[in-house]
Amino acid sequence: MNPIDIGSIQSAVTLVSFVAFVGIVAWAWSGRRRGEFSEASRIPLEDDRHDAAGEAAGSAREQR
């Protein structure tokens, strides 16, 4: 029985990594996820609006 050499281990790790990568890409680009990703993509813009409104209200209070 031959022991497993380092080349076999490297090949197996490469194959597992590639399959995981393809799976993640397929999951991210699937049509079922489009709504969730579209909603999540607006989160930074909504936070900016809240921050800007809060800063404007806060600076108006400070000036009084």
| Residue 51 is assigned to a structural domain of this protein | yes
pLDDT confidence of residue 14: 98
Total domains in the chain come to 1
| Residue 9 is assigned to a structural domain of this protein | no
pLDDT tens across 17-54, in order?
999 999 999 988 888 888 888 888 888 888 665 555 65
| Residue 15 is assigned to a structural domain of this protein | no
| Residue 40 is assigned to a structural domain of this protein | yes
pLDDT at 63 over 70: no
For 56, the domain range is 32-64
| Residue 52 is assigned to a structural domain of this protein | yes
| Residue 58 is assigned to a structural domain of this protein | yes
Rounded alpha-carbon distances, angstroms, from residue 38 to 20, 26, 32, 51? 24, 17, 11, 21
Q: What is the pTM of this model?
A: 0.54
| Residue 36 is assigned to a structural domain of this protein | yes
